[in-house]
Amino acid sequence: MSDRPRPLLLPALAAALPLVLLAALSLGAVTVSPLAVLRSALSALGLPARPMPEVQEVIVWSVRLPRVLAAALVGGGLAVVGASLQSLFRNPLADAGLLGVGPGAALGAVLAVNLGWAQQRFLALPVSACLGAFLALLLVYGLAHAGGRPSLPGLLLTGVAVSALAAAATSVLLVAIEEFRVRTILFWLAGGLEGRGFEHAALAAAFVIPGSTLLWLLARPLDVLTLGEEEAAALAVPVHTVRLAVFGICALVAGPVTAVAGSVPFVGLIAPHALRPLVGPLNRRLLPASFLAGAILVVAADLAARWLGDRVELPLGSVTAFVGAPYFLLALRGQEGTA
């Protein structure tokens, strides 16, 4: 096991992200040369460069750009949330799903469709999904705190129970839904970024960027928390305040992200997991590296979802799960017991 942090990894990831973004802007049903995309970008900035033909300009800047930006924000947000929760719970398997955020968001979305809101207002679906995620979180936190300060396993188990409840309610609503709407919902549950516009990217950015920054500012207390609750308290970390803050910020990031992209599993697990041996467990380095790796992962997965499907797009969540689940099983077998 090589445990020396690699100082070049973070710059390498930072350099790789623009390349992946450029590839995702260029490739698709209509393939545009990356150089043409760069020239067009320069001309948009007022520099003397040649723009692309009108159709390609529309495809790259109006259709692909918001989707690619949304993908990067979704991936970055999920990975930072995953890494933070893993430090908080001192468990490499912790993920946004544990907070009940995913199932809560799904329930909110299905409700919005069922009640007809989603058809009346454009952002009704993501907003209800957000509300569903927050309500699930409040429920998890409230229930877990009902008998005083909860233990971490108590919180985790409450999260599992609330998730199961939300999933059960979602199933009931799905049965009751008109058949032609089931497809919309199913696609959303499977995760996807098809047809996401700038308003979706803006919604993700509004929560992911400040949220990730705040989590990064909490990196050091989070590091101390990984030493154990008692040691953290003895080193003057306000354990419960930090825990509540991290928990709340994670929900504020994961809720909107799930609302924008639906369920995108494994990103929050595998990005930090793969990076920890390379950059070490300290969050000041791990969180930015996770953000970049998560962004790259989801942009690439979304590109694959667009590309691999013949005529139809593959669900983004299935792509990340197809890659993530086997990786995760292998990783778990390879290093059982080393967190």
Partner 1 sequence: MTTAAVEARDVRLERGGRPVLRGVSLALFPGEALALVGPNASGKSTLLRALAGLLPVASGELSVEGRALREWTRPALARRVALVAAEDEAPARLAVADRVRLGRYPYRGPLTPFTADDEAAVGRALRLAEIEHLAGRALGTLSAGERQLALLARGLAQEPSVLLLDEPAAHLDIRHQLHLLRLIDEVRAQGVAVLAVIHDLQRAAWAPRMALLEAGRIAAAGTPAEVLESEAAGRAFGVAIRGVGEGTHRLWRFEQRA
Secondary structure of 102-158 in HEC code, one letter for each residue: HHHHHHHHHHHHHCCHHHHCCCHHHHHHHHHHHHHHHHHHHHHHCCCCCCHHHHHHH
Q: How far is the CB of 92 from partner 1 (least distance, A)?
A: 9
Q: Which of 90, 145 has the CB closer to partner 1? A: 90
Q: Which of 6, 39 has the CB closer to partner 1? A: 6
Which residue, 30, 137, 21, 118, is CA-closest to 76? Answer: 21
Q: Which of 28, 277 has the CB closer to partner 1? A: 277
Which residue, 206, 215, 230, is CA-closest to 85? Answer: 215
Q: How far is the CB of 231 from partner 1 (least distance, A)?
A: 7
d(CA 307, CA 93): 30
Q: Which of 73, 245 has the CB closer to partner 1? A: 245
Residues contacting residue 171 through CB under 8 Å, at least 6 positions apart: none
Contact 308/314 with Cβ under 8 angstroms?
yes
Residues that bind partner 1 (CB under 8 A): 1, 3-5, 90, 217-218, 220-221, 223-224, 226-228, 230-231, 233-238, 276-277, 280-282, 338-339
Q: Which of 132, 211 has the CB closer to partner 1? A: 211
Which residue, 22, 75, 76, 7, is CA-closest to 288? Answer: 76
Query: What is the phi/psi pair of residue 128, to 5°?
Result: -65, -35
Pair of tokens at residue 210: 């400040």
Q: Measure Cα distances from 12 to 7, 273, 289 in Å.
A: 9, 18, 10
Q: Which of 64, 273 has the CB closer to partner 1? A: 273
Q: How far is the CB of 338 from partner 1 (least distance, A)?
A: 5
DSSP helix, strand, coil percent of the chain (3-state; round to 5): 75, 0, 25
Q: How far is the CB of 336 from partner 1 (least distance, A)?
A: 12
Q: How far is the CB of 144 from partner 1 (least distance, A)?
A: 20
Q: Which of 105, 218 has the CB closer to partner 1? A: 218
